[in-house]
Amino acid sequence: MNTTRRLLAAAAATMLACAPLATLAQDIKPRLIRFGYGLNEQSNQGRAVKVFADAVEKASGGKMKVRAIGAAALGPDTQMQQALIGGAQEMMVGSTATLVGITKEMALWDTPFLVNSVKEADAVLDGPIGQKVMAKLPEKGLVGLVYWENGFRNLTNSKHPVSKLEDLNGIKLRVMQNNVFLESFKTLGANAVPLPFSELFSALETGTVDGQENPFNTILSSKFYEVQKYLSVTNHVYSPWIVLVSKKWWDGLSKTEQKILQDAASASRDFERKDTRDEAGRALADLKAKGMQINELTPAESARMRDRLTRVNASIAANVGMDLWNETQAELTKIRGG
């Protein structure tokens, strides 16, 4: 081999070795991702969106930029979902409960007392059942990437402590825009009023509603303690959040870009769950310090509430489909080591 040929061969080898990198660079186009969410920037949701945004920018060499828009500035969950479906917005994170009108299987996550711990929640959401429910989204124009933790929900109100079922009688309680929540709280005797989260603080402040239910983190970050005196630890349901992408937009991305989003979503999920759990662990003391009066339910009252609430299970099962319901129960038995 003469020098020229050897050089040519070397150059060809180098080019071959570089080929994947070159394709990779071309595979990532400048992208602007409008990412909407409902809580404020200083919430567990806001912090995790930031982690997602940073991960996407880093992995794409700054080409893919995430514009995070919190505090429902792009509208409540239901409005953002429609914007994603239509392709007017790229991404969001929101409650699975507000998605039920689009994908009925999401109602599974509204089942009162479905899981007993965050460990069970992670196992069921990240396992085959969670994936199966998520797989129902694309036919509706949405792509689900990961579930985040919103958390176990607890009851607050401005009237009196709720320590037994009867205390809920006549309380005007804001619920998410979702039939399971509406039915659940009607069954408990409350006067349930569906409202978007973005209208909740002022509804509590003006007395349009007396109470609401959300995880400790949200009661803290949304400053509900300013307008709510009583907090009853009910843990009546575990709520997930879900990170969604517009399918219209997603389908135009390269495989590399899709992978960047999926990986960043997974990293944000791991961060978010840890951050949320750390904060939840401290939140009760913080809320007490802010002047909230907190009460636990006795085991007997807890059981009564649970019994009453699980009356809605039959209708959830019918809505999500008996097969999915039974598979979920079997999966939970497996997770619990049964």
CA–CA distance, 49 with 31 (Å, rounded to integer):
17
Give min distance, CB of 246 to ligand TK8, in A: 18
DSSP 6: H
Residue 49 as a binder of ligand TK8 (CB under 6 A): the answer is no
Task: Give Cβ neighbours of residue 58 (< 8 Å, ≥ 6 apart).
Answer: none
Q: Which is nearer to ligand TK8, 28 or 115 (CB)?
A: 115
Give min distance, CB of 77 to ligand TK8, in A: 6
Binding to ligand TK8 (CB under 6 A) within 231-290 occurs at 239
Residue 80 as a binder of ligand TK8 (CB under 6 A): the answer is no
Quick check: 198 and 181 in contact, CB under 8 A?
Answer: no
CA–CA distance, 79 with 85 (Å, rounded to integer):
10
Residue 158 as a binder of ligand TK8 (CB under 6 A): the answer is no
CA neighbor of 243 nearest in space, from 144, 162, 168: 144
**Residue span 319-338 as binding mask against ligand TK8, x where in contact by CB under 6 A, dash where not:** --------------------
Give min distance, CB of 272 to ligand TK8, in A: 12
3-state secondary structure of 239: strand
Encoding tokens for residue 125?
Answer: 């959401």
Give min distance, CB of 54 to ligand TK8, in A: 21
CA–CA distance, 302 with 71 (Å, rounded to integer):
33
Binding to ligand TK8 (CB under 6 A) within 28-47 occurs at 38-39
Choose, by CB under 6 A, the member of 60, 81, 89, 95 that binds ligand TK8: 95
Residue given tokens 């507000």 in the structure block? 98
CA–CA distance, 27 with 329 (Å, rounded to integer):
42
Give min distance, CB of 153 to ligand TK8, in A: 7
Choose, by CB under 6 A, the member of 36, 70, 75, 94 that binds ligand TK8: 94
**Residue span 112-151 as binding mask against ligand TK8, x where in contact by CB under 6 A, dash where not:** --------------------------------------x-
**Residue span 175-214 as binding mask against ligand TK8, x where in contact by CB under 6 A, dash where not:** -x--------------------x----------------x
Give min distance, CB of 95 to ligand TK8, in A: 3
Residue given tokens 């990986």 in the structure block? 263
Residue given tokens 């186009």 in the structure block? 29
Cα distances from 44 to residues 50, 220, 238, 245, 289, in angstroms, run 10, 10, 16, 20, 20
Other Cβ atoms within 10 Å of 19 Cβ, number: 10
Q: Which is nearer to ligand TK8, 199 or 263 (CB)?
A: 199
Give min distance, CB of 39 to ligand TK8, in A: 5
- Strand order, beta sheet including 64-69: 64-69, 31-36, 91-95, 238-246, 142-152
Residues within the interface to ligand TK8 (CB under 6 A): 38-39, 77, 94-95, 150, 176, 197, 214, 218, 239
